[in-house]
A and B are shown apart, each in its own frame.
Chain A
Amino acid sequence: MDISTRQSGTATIVDVVGDITLYNSPEVRKVLLNLLKEKKSPRVIVNMLSVKYIDSAGVASLVEGLKLSRDLKSTFALFGLSRTAQEVFELTRLVRVFEIYTNEEDALRGGSPNTNAAPVR
């Protein structure tokens, strides 16, 4: 798994490439918490387009990011969930908890997230 960040306006986009699993989700968590806590980023968007698979540890790390963003009054969004990732979020009843968009433009624009969006792939 590779993880990198880039700036787009005030928002920070986190590009994750590869599976998020038990063994590498601490990296994702570290990046997210650092962006929110140290860099004070007002909006963090996680790009899931290249994440084929995410397990419960990955989901838990994203939940931690979401919670911290709420505490710090910043916003947290996801976009580009694969079909399997979408299923995982539905099963854990997290689709309505997260701001989830189909693509980057929508995520940057913000507004009402399209929670019922069909999976991208």
Chain B
Amino acid sequence: MASIPTSKGDNPQAPTGAAISVRNLRVNYGSREILHGINFEVPAGETLVILGGSGSGKSTLLRTLVGLETPSGGEIWMRGKNFAAMSEEDRDELRKKMGMSFQGGALFGSMTVGENVALALQEHTELDESTIEIMVRLKLDQVGLSGFENYMPAQLSGGMKKRAAIARALSMDPEILFFDEPSAGLDPIIAAGIDDLILKLKKAFRITIVVVTHELASAFLIADRMILLDKGVIVANGTTKELQASSQPRVRQFLDRIPEPELTGEIDYLQMLTGDVPPIRQ
């Protein structure tokens, strides 16, 4: 039950009226720049899908949005505050309004599913244990895991782990939910179930959702807006329809699943084989 922005007293909106507003974001790993000035906005209640191949920087972007990486430049506006330039305490306050579902679930292996979902509530609120128990059952019911609260994460299948992780991400009634590769490594039926769940959460609680994925079918099903990331820059940004209609070569290559061209030219090929020139052209 996420808050519905229009009904809340404090207005959780960035100056531009979007739930998330990213401006000229730059992220470095050491001296190497991974994201070269990213700009985009997510309107409240909409789902943004970040598309991109391996090494495009999409995971780094997601990690930066939830505060796991520190940007080297730029701004991230959420709830009217610049997340990128905040004290650790303010950042934690904002994080209580965010939920993150990790690729592998990242459930705490030493705790039961129920304890995983209850943890943030126990740590951050003064709620009574009996209230928390009911909340945990509500959340698990929402992801279709009723009755699993006493299971250990190791006893769950991959799809169930992800559902449990989503229940944990929902525990504090977040306004923004982040998903890292929600359907990666799952069989098609379970992956479709996760897509359904994301759609339901969006419709039901009007949560703003950001999903990183490279699964095109899933992306087109759940997205309102999409950005395509390539080598740390945004090559396309628009609604699902706009992206589908785009004639930009890089977008077409990604959406039509055209492989990278092979190295042509005998000299390039020889240099690659002999190691004289690195084959990756930046």
**Which residues of chain B from 1 to 42 have any CB-CB distance to chain A below 8 Å in the complex?**
1-4, 7-9
Q: How far is the CA of A56 from the CA of B141 in the complex (A)?
A: 12
Contact partner, A56, options B7, B9, B128, B173, Cβ 8 Å? B173
Q: How far is the CA of A34 from the CA of B124 in the complex (A)?
A: 25
- Distance A93 CA – B125 CA, assembled complex (angstroms): 25
A30 to B219, CA, bound (A): 45
The answer to whether A26 and B128 touch (CB under 8 A), given A55-B1, A59-B1, A87-B204, is yes
Provide the residues of chain B in CB contact with A19, threshold 8 Å.
Answer: 8-9
State A39–B125 Cα separation when bound (angstroms): 28
A54 within 8 A of B: yes
In the assembly, what is the distance between CA of A94 and CA of B62, in Å?
A: 35
Stretch of B131-139, B228-236, B248-256, B259-267 lying at the A interface: B131-139
Complex Cα spacing A52 to B124, Å: 23
| Per-position 1/0 for A54-92, Cβ under 8 A of B | 111101110110000000000000000010100110011
Any chain A CB within 8 A of the CB of B127? yes
Q: Taking A55-B1, A55-B173, A91-B1 as contacts, is the C-beta distance between A29 and B7 under 8 angstroms?
A: no
Question: In chain B between 134 and 172, which residues have their CB closer than 8 angstroms to a CB of chain A?
Answer: 134-135, 138-139, 141-142, 172
Beta-carbon contacts under 8 Å, A1-48 to B: 19, 21-23, 25-26, 29
Q: Which residues of A contact B110 (CB under 8 A)?
A: none
Q: Are A56 and B127 in contact (CB under 8 A)?
A: no
A53 x B4 contact (CB < 8 A): yes
**A60–B1 CB distance below 8 A:** no
The 8 Å CB contact of B1, one of A29, A61, A88, is: A88
Q: Which residue of A lies closest to B205 (CB)?
A: A91
How far, in angstroms, from A52 to B7 measured CA to CA in the complex? 7
Residues of A within 8 A of B127 (CB): 22, 25-26, 57, 60
In the complex the two chains form, is A22's CB within 8 Å of B204's CB? no
Partner of A84, one of B7, B124, B135: B7
Known: A26-B127, A61-B131. 11 other contacts (CB 8 A): A22-B121, A23-B126, A26-B131, A29-B128, A53-B8, A55-B2, A56-B138, A56-B173, A60-B132, A64-B131, A88-B1
